[in-house]
């Protein structure tokens, strides 16, 4: 009996591999290509015929003219080819040191601003690629960005508003501001038709 069962085992691994490992994923790929082509390919953002990033993947920003995203634990930061979190435990001295340094960096970039720093600006995201920051983090940085660009705070906050996503049905998840799209928008401000 067992040799026959072993033969069935081999045949069923092959048959089910064909079904669930080739037919199924290729059918979904085809369907995705028809229904949601842009999203299936990674929600890529194009400017002047070039890919400048993905709407879902953050990028590193360091200039005071740009909104900064969450700290990233990948090497180098925002390495979209190798996602990772910091995996630092809550009592790890390395975590406290990193947070203290990030608070200081934000303070140095905007010395007049003394209010406490929103926690998401100084803690690394889970993927290292988080495309969003909290509304509080956007508001905190808006002063610095407005000053560096010579824009009115209200205009910067209006741009923030354009790239803010709410909770789903007002309940699920948390609101967020897409940093890359916001920065692209700011670069386009005052250049009509640039988009």
Q: What is the footprint of another protein within residues 154-183 (CB under 8 A)? A: 165, 167-168, 171-176, 180, 183
Q: Which stretch binds another protein (CB under 8 A): 8-16, 145-153, 154-162?
A: 8-16
Cβ of residue 150: shortest distance to another protein, in angstroms? Answer: 18
Q: In the set 28, 153, 154, 194, which binds another protein (CB under 8 A)?
A: 28
Q: Which residue has the tokens 């960096």?
A: 105
* Integer angstrom CA distances of residue 100 from 60, 93, 106: 19, 11, 10
Q: Which stretch binds another protein (CB under 8 A): 54-62, 142-150, 152-160?
A: 54-62
**Paired tokens of 126:** 């889970």
Count residues contacting another protein (CB under 8 A)? Answer: 109
Q: What are phi and psi of 165, to 5 degrees?
A: -110, 130
CB 110 within 8 A of CB 161: no
Task: Please classify residue 183 by burial: count the beta carbons closer than 10 Å to its beta carbon, then call 0-12 exposed, 13-18 middle and 19+ buried.
Answer: buried
* Per-residue interface string for the shown chain with another protein, residues 73-112, x marking contact by CB under 8 A: ---x-xxxxxxxxxxxxxxxx-xx--xx--x---------
- Hey, which residues does 165 pair with through a beta bridge? 176
Q: How far is CA 168 from the centre of its chain?
A: 17
Alpha-carbon Rg for the chain, nearest whole angstrom, is 23
Q: In the set 42, 113, 147, 157, which binds another protein (CB under 8 A)?
A: 42
Which of 179, 184, 75, 183 shows the shortest CA–CA distance to 130? 179
Check binding of 141 to another protein (CB under 8 A). no
Check binding of 31 to another protein (CB under 8 A). yes
Cβ of residue 54: shortest distance to another protein, in angstroms? Answer: 6
Cβ of residue 168: shortest distance to another protein, in angstroms? Answer: 4
């Amino acid at each position: 009996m067992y040799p026959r069962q072993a033969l069935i085992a081999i045949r069923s691994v092959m048959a089910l591999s064909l079904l669930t490992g080739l037919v199924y994923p290729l059918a979904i790929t085809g369907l995705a290509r028809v229904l949601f082509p842009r999203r299936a390919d990674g929600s890529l953002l194009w400017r002047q015929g070039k890919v400048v990033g993905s709407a879902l993947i953050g990028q590193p920003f360091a200039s005071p003219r740009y909104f900064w995203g969450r700290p990233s634990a990948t090497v180098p930061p925002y390495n979209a080819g190798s996602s990772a979190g910091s995996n630092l435990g809550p009592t790890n001295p390395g975590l406290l040191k990193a947070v203290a340094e990030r608070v200081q960096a934000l303070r140095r970039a905007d010395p007049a601003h003394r209010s406490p720093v929103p926690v998401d600006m100084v803690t690394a995201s889970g993927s290292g690629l988080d495309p969003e920051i909290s509304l509080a983090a956007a508001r905190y940085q808006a002063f610095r960005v407005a000053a560096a660009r010579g824009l009115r705070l209200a205009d910067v906050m209006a741009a923030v508003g354009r790239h803010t996503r709410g909770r789903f049905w007002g309940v699920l998840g948390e609101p967020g501001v897409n940093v890359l799209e916001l920065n692209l928008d700011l670069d386009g401000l005052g250049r009509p038709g640039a988009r």
